[in-house]
Amino acid sequence: MAALTFLEARNAVLTQCSPLDSPPAIEAVCLEAAAGRVLAEDIAADRDTPALPRSVRDGYAVRAADLPGELEVIGEVRAGERFAGEVAHGQAVEIMTGAPIPAGADAVVMVEHTQRVNGRVHIAGAAEPRQFINPQGCEAAAHQTILRPGKRLDYSDVALLATFGCTHARVFRRPTAAIIATGDEIVEVSETPSAFQIRNSNTYSLHAQVARAGGVPRILPIARDTVEQTRAAIVGGLTADLLLLSGGVSAGKYDVVETVLASLGAEFFFDRVLIQPGQPVVFGRVATTFFFGLPGNPSSTMVTFEVFARAALELLAGQTETALSMPYSRLTRDFRHRAGLTRFLPARLSLDGAEVTPVEWHGSGDVPAMTRANAYLVAEPGRPEYQRGEFIRVLPK
Ligand code: AMP
Ligand code: MG
């Protein structure tokens, strides 16, 4: 298969995984458990909000046409109350933020622009009608749909559910992701490796990444680099909604993952992408289950999950959209890379995110360097040189 560019590969994932043939099952969760879940129903406003015209400042409710001038203060209204009377010509009502506008008033003047003298208030400036008043229903009208299925709920969505009296939300069941590490040299974390062996770290970085993306990780045993063992592991993993393999997808003699997947009737959408780390990354499907073969070097596994597999998992979770936010930041030093590949290199963003500095690293296996990074520099394939002070894209970690 021809190698794809980064964007082509990302588009292949988005196209294949969306829309879903069969949406995930639905369950109800309480508000405290709703953030991070994907909404499975329409939510409508149960009333106008605000339910009455409301003041957005502390001050005085007035008739705009009376100003400038001195007005008689006939009472006050606080949030949670309603003023019984009516504001007539030459009158004002002291009002607090959030309180309903009394009948007769058509503007609010901020308390900072007034002078109270005994029972009267002096206002030197003019007022626009409707100033500092939120009209009834301006935020949402009763019965208006305010959230739609497929949205991953964030904290503001949870606030909206609460505002409209939803004690529970119907959400999609979280997708499961099976995780299989492959490799003859890989030993369990609890084992003492010989000098020629390596502890399994990919299973655990993937576990954390899957959970953060809203999936349910399912760890399977390490598969050795034989067709039989890899095949048995993959068959077990295909019962999940998404199968994630680490290692075994390079061109080596013992990289058997692709061969085994092909023998299981896999359809491949790509098996090489012009990125680094992670060039040999594989994406495909066996029957209805999508899989990723993520190259085994730890940073390759981490990066290819973030830029490809996370999108797949989010779409399988029922999300209608998935984003990869890569803002620009200014380089603190000159930066050079070999053209032709999109590179994701460990980097540190400054506290305000305005500046970015590459982290010194020793290649795709350098996990300590990855932990010193809080972002990846995203170097473009067509641009081998960046000067200090120039903008470069950044993928926050
Ligand atoms: P592979 O993609 O199978 O060629 O693996 C490339 C390299 O990644 C191996 O030589 C190991 O150093 C490392 N590696 C592979 N799998 C793991 C794993 N599960 N945990 C940590 N390192 C791994
Ligand atoms: Mg291997």
Q: Which domains does the chain have, with CATH numbers?
A: 6-24+174-316 (3.40.980.10), 26-47+142-172 (3.90.105.10), 54-134 (2.170.190.11), 328-396 (2.40.340.10)
pLDDT, tens digit, 9 for 90 and up, residues 12-29: 999 999 877 788 999 999
Q: What angle do CA 34, 374, 366 make, to 5 degrees?
A: 120
The residues near 125 (Cβ < 8 Å, ≥ 6 apart) are 67, 68, 109, 113
CA distance 244 to 308: 11
Lookup: tokens for 159? 């606030």
pTM: 0.93
Pick from 220, 312, 228: which is nearest to 263 by CA? 228
Residue 277 in contact with ligand 1 by CB distance below 6 A: no
CA distance 108 to 247: 66
What pLDDT sits at residue 22? Answer: 82
**DSSP secondary structure string, 70-84?**
EEEEEEEE-TT----
Produce one character per residue of 201-227: b if its CB has 16 or more CB atoms within 10 Å, e if not: bbbebbbebbeebbbebbbbebbbbee
pLDDT, tens digit, 9 for 90 and up, residues 52-79: 999 999 999 999 999 999 999 999 999 9
CA distance 300 to 206: 11
Mean pLDDT of the residues in the chain: 97
What pLDDT sits at residue 171? Answer: 98
Question: What totals of helices (H) and strands (E) does the chain contain, helices first?
Answer: 8, 28
For ligand 1, atom 7: residue with the closest CA: 297
What pLDDT sits at residue 243? Answer: 98
Q: Which residues surround ligand 2, an ion (CB under 5 A)?
A: 183, 247-248, 296
What pLDDT sits at residue 234? Answer: 98
Matching residue, tokens 């900072």: 112
What pLDDT sits at residue 20? Answer: 73
Q: From the centroid of its chain, how far is CA 201?
A: 25
pLDDT, tens digit, 9 for 90 and up, residues 154-192: 999 999 999 999 999 999 999 999 999 999 999 999 999
How many angstroms is it from 248 CA to the middle of ligand 2? 4
- Give me the mean pLDDT over the 40-58 stretch: 97
Residue 299 in contact with ligand 1 by CB distance below 6 A: no
CA distance 241 to 220: 14
Residue type at 84? A
Residue 246 in contact with ligand 1 by CB distance below 6 A: yes
Could you tell me how many residues make up the chain? 397
Atom index in ligand 1 nearest the CA of residue 280 equals 2
Atom index in ligand 1 nearest the CA of residue 182 equals 16
- Give me the mean pLDDT over the 137-165 stretch: 97
Distances in Å between the Cα of 182 and the Cα atoms of 230, 231, 244, 285, 316 are: 7, 11, 11, 19, 24
Residue 297 in contact with ligand 1 by CB distance below 6 A: yes
Residue 179 in contact with ligand 1 by CB distance below 6 A: no
* 198-199 vs 176-181, strand pairing mode: unpaired
CA distance 157 to 155: 5
pLDDT, tens digit, 9 for 90 and up, residues 166-175: 999 999 999 9
CA distance 317 to 153: 12
pLDDT tier, 344 (very low <50, low <70, confident <90, very high otherwise): very high
What pLDDT sits at residue 23? Answer: 84
Least confident of 217-221, 260-264, 327-331, 366-370: 366-370
pLDDT tier, 315 (very low <50, low <70, confident <90, very high otherwise): very high
Atom index in ligand 1 nearest the CA of residue 252 equals 4
- Give me the mean pLDDT over the 194-202 stretch: 97
Residue type at 104? G
- Of 182, 184, 186, best ligand 1 pocket probe by most atoms within 8 Å of the beta carbon: 186
What pLDDT sits at residue 340? Answer: 96
